[in-house]
Structure 1
Amino acid sequence: MEGETVRIIPGPIIVGSGPSGLAVAACLKVRHIPSLVLERSHCIASLWRLKSYDRLRLHLPKHFCELPLLPFPAHLPAYPSKDQFVAYLDAYAAAFGVRPSFGESVVAAEYDAESGFWRVKTQAEQGRREYASRWLVVATGENAEEVAPEIGGLREFEGKVVHTSRYRSGEEFRGKRVLVVGCGNSGMEVSLDLCNHGASPAIVVRDTVHLLPREMLGLSTFGLSMWMLKWLPIRLVDRFLLLVAGLLLGDTAAFGLRRPKLGPLQLKAIAGKTPVLDVGTLAKIKSGHIKVFPAVKRLTTKGAEFVDGRSQEFDAVILATGYRSNVPTWLKEREFFSTKDGFPKKPFPNGWKGDRGLYAAGFTKRGLLGASMDATRIAQDIEQSWLEVS
């Protein structure tokens, strides 16, 4: 390798110390393969620890969310809280001796064909650094950067505007009229949290959305779906879910929540759009405590105008508009990762492995369960080549 400032890493370089990166490092550790985990923040799981709201709980039962090799403590509830999940991740990192290099933001990574190594450049407080390894694991995930949509009049709006990554509790908005833009799980839960803290929320539902109860027939809706898919085609499972959802929730379209034509599981498989699991928001919508509006036409100095001609004044706007991958901004590779959305081009379950020692963990659009599957496969694959070069 050219230059004396390049640090050669004997094992893989893992970019990101969220659940995906930790899982890969742990699966490698039990195979006696060292790794270097690079993390731009100063803590593990920064999205969970620093950018999530206080009332957040896992949307799926804990046994669907545990990482490889270490189950959740038995005393935790079925749906652990944000703090309980972060504590689990801390314990996970400690159990497997995963110690990331914090405060190092990867600014560029590319394959050096001459040496056969991936060269990774970082920016840290101490200056720029460069590493090289035969293997590179991209574990920055689906939610690396906030998405802030272009909304007409946003700069003219005189109230507070925050992304959900900076929202903690509805207490800050007590007595305020708040417009929540976005109707995914985060938007729905933030609206409920605002309502429970004495705010007057309204939620923008721009498109169709599948709203399902979190549990059906005393079981997790997700778990029930996975079990049924073992025996029935996806279309029949979707019909069952919508039938039960209709009985338990009623006609959601009557309250401005129109369902897509494709069933929830089909839509998830084709477009990666996750159904919303209701934790009490729909009841507040039905009672009128949470208002539903269509797409925003433009914001005004005091509120918003909507595409259906209605307008209303608001004191604050919360952007529950999600996140995106940032891989195209630093990875100099065009075959495996899409430059459009920063996801692997290969569909699940084949999107974990690229060429020349490049891997992706946590880009399955299947949550923590998908990340765990990725981690196990990546570690097994790296072990084979590790034994060949050792």
Structure 2
Amino acid sequence: MDYLREIEGKSAHDPFLNRLNQTRTRRCVWIPGPVIVGAGPSGLAVSACLKEKGLPSLVLERSNCIASLWQLKTYDRLRLHLPKQFCELPFMSFPEDFPTYPSKQQFIQYLEAYAKKFDIRPVFNATVVSAEYDQSLGFWRVWTIGLKDDEIDEYVCRWLIVATGENAEEMIPQIEGIDEFGGTVMHTSRYTRGDAFRGKKVLVVGCGNSGMEVCLDLFNHNAIPSLVVRDAVHILPREMLGKSTFGLSMWLLKWLPVSLVDRFLLVVSRLILGDTAKFGIERPQMGPLQVKILSGKTPVLDIGTLDKIKSGNIKVFPGIQRVRHQSVEFVNGNTENFDAIILATGYRSNVPSWLKEKEMFSQKDGLPKRAFPNGWKGESGLYAVGFTKRGLMGASMDAKRIAQHIEICFKSEAKQLSAALISATSLKL
């Protein structure tokens, strides 16, 4: 096959592909419904939406559990940043006794209950290494590799749904001299809690929600945290006027344009939080909602970190110039000693590494080329869910659209097949 020949050509330079090339067994499985790649919240949502319409699907997951990002790569103190009503998946609400902002474990509990309710049984430990549309057959061919060298499977399907999301792989920045540091360097995907850093000076690189929360967690565990703020960022209080900032924003947008809602958010934030620029955190020129719409960058919802910055318990530094042994030199010329560096630098899509398709997804960032709300559908039965940069609400919207569209296609093709069979039977008679 072309795919295996391509593997053979590359294997000499890639240990992973070399392992793949040396396999000797493979099975081919026909899937009557869509194949969904990824068993995170997005994959579960679209599988449930399909099931509600009576359509079967198969979910492939590279890890050994659902929602692997939440279960295996998040810190213990994590909670949903938005109120639970904005984070529900289709057809199932959170339990009433859950708090407004469910904890990590509560959210995982919700997802496990969701999978059980809709009888979603992913194939675990199945890493998709390639997926391509076979023009001659009119079907998608999806290859996975399992835990053992000889576990290669091929799945053939009419529809392929990419649900690996925006956060599939850690983003590790290129920082000059990082290999010389000598102390602990880790991504937040490996950070669980601050116990191991008690009494140590820790530099957190990245000032998104994760970076701010990790700094607060480190301080609460008696570490000495500092924060790198390289770019301008909006920090908003999690709640305004007794309501969630997000919920209040959504309500105001029903009546007012984005520019006025942004102005309101900034005025109230200034009254509640003060001028963040005084503490080394500049705001972007555009308002928080406009930034979110245009770039997908989410404003930070403060849960107490800013107070620690104001009190001097958490220091703020500008961008890093270079790293030296046990120290960091910043772009302003200052140098500071640290015992550890934690990279809160986010995640990225990994779609270009396995999907052999260049029309729907950008090869640069692995996201759909068409902006929300039009990025969910490609050609030849290809779909995307969880790439809206609008969290679980956006994923749920896409999941419903995809299920509805596949249902229409399914019924249409069933009618055509039925008509063809009737015609063939008539000719024989």
Rounded to whole Å, the distance in 2 between the matches of 1:220 and 1:286 is 23
Rounded to whole Å, the distance in 2 between the matches of 1:163 and 1:341 is 20
Which amino acid is 1:13 matched to?
A: V
Say if 2:102 is the partner of 1:80.
yes
Question: Which of the numbers 9, 29, 32 marks the counterpart of 1:10?
Answer: 32
Question: Which of the numbers 104, 107, 110 marks the counterpart of 2:132?
Answer: 110
Which amino acid is 1:360 matched to?
A: A
Question: Which of the numbers 256, 270, 284 marks the counterpart of 1:232?
Answer: 256
Which amino acid is 1:128 matched to?
A: I
Corresponding residue for residue 154 of structure 2: 130
Which amino acid is 1:386 matched to?
A: F
Rounded to whole Å, the distance in 1 between the matches of 2:256 and 2:390 is 20
Rounded to whole Å, the distance in 2 between the matches of 1:95 and 1:5 is 30
Give the secondary-structure state (helix, strand or coil) at the position aligned to 1:101.
coil
Question: Which of the numbers 8, 15, 19 marks the counterpart of 2:41?
Answer: 19
Displacement of 1:172 in angstroms is 1.2
Which amino acid is 2:271 matched to?
A: L
Displacement of 1:389 in angstroms is 2.5
Question: Which of the numbers 381, 395, 403 marks the counterpart of 1:357?
Answer: 381
Corresponding residue for residue 340 of structure 1: 364
Written as runs of structure 1 = structure 2, the 5 A alignment for 1:1-390 is 5-126=27-148, 127-390=151-414
Displacement of 1:30 in angstroms is 1.2
* Unpaired segments ≥5 residues, structure 2: 3-25, 415-429
Do 2:38 and 2:164's aligned partners in 1 also have CA atoms closer than 8 Å? yes
Rounded to whole Å, the distance in 1 between the matches of 2:51 and 2:371 is 28
Q: TM-score normalised to the size of structure 1? A: 0.99
Displacement of 1:309 in angstroms is 1.1
Give the secondary-structure state (helix, strand or coil) at the position aligned to 2:250.
helix
Give the secondary-structure state (helix, strand or coil) at the position aligned to 1:102.
coil
Aligned residues: 390
Rounded to whole Å, the distance in 1 between the matches of 2:373 and 2:247 is 19
Which amino acid is 1:312 matched to?
A: E
Displacement of 1:148 in angstroms is 0.5
Rounded to whole Å, the distance in 1 between the matches of 2:324 and 2:34 is 51
Do 2:127 and 2:145's aligned partners in 1 also have CA atoms closer than 8 Å? yes
Rounded to whole Å, the distance in 2 between the matches of 1:300 and 1:82 is 36
Rounded to whole Å, the distance in 1 between the matches of 2:161 and 2:386 is 10
CA RMSD of aligned residues (A): 1.3
Which amino acid is 1:271 matched to?
A: S
Rounded to whole Å, the distance in 1 between the matches of 2:326 and 2:96 is 50
Q: Bigger shift: 117-126 or 127-136?
A: 117-126
Rounded to whole Å, the distance in 1 between the matches of 2:92 and 2:285 is 40
Displacement of 1:122 in angstroms is 0.6
Which amino acid is 2:287 matched to?
A: G
Which protein has the larger Cα radius of gyration, Structure 1 or Structure 2?
2
Percent of residue pairs identical: 67
Superposed structure 1 runs of 4+ greater than 3 Å apart: none
Rounded to whole Å, the distance in 2 between the matches of 1:67 and 1:133 is 25
Rounded to whole Å, the distance in 1 between the matches of 2:129 and 2:386 is 20
Displacement of 1:300 in angstroms is 1.0
* Unpaired segments ≥5 residues, structure 1: none
Displacement of 1:388 in angstroms is 1.9
Displacement of 1:125 in angstroms is 2.5
Displacement of 1:5 in angstroms is 3.8
Displacement of 1:114 in angstroms is 1.1
Rounded to whole Å, the distance in 2 between the matches of 1:176 and 1:303 is 13
Which amino acid is 1:49 matched to?
A: Q
Q: Bigger shift: 295-304 or 64-73?
A: 295-304
Rounded to whole Å, the distance in 2 between the matches of 1:370 and 1:171 is 36
Q: TM-score normalised to the size of structure 2? A: 0.90
Do 2:27 and 2:152's aligned partners in 1 also have CA atoms closer than 8 Å? no
Which amino acid is 2:116 matched to?
A: A
Rounded to whole Å, the distance in 2 between the matches of 1:301 and 1:320 is 21
Do 2:219 and 2:225's aligned partners in 1 also have CA atoms closer than 8 Å? yes
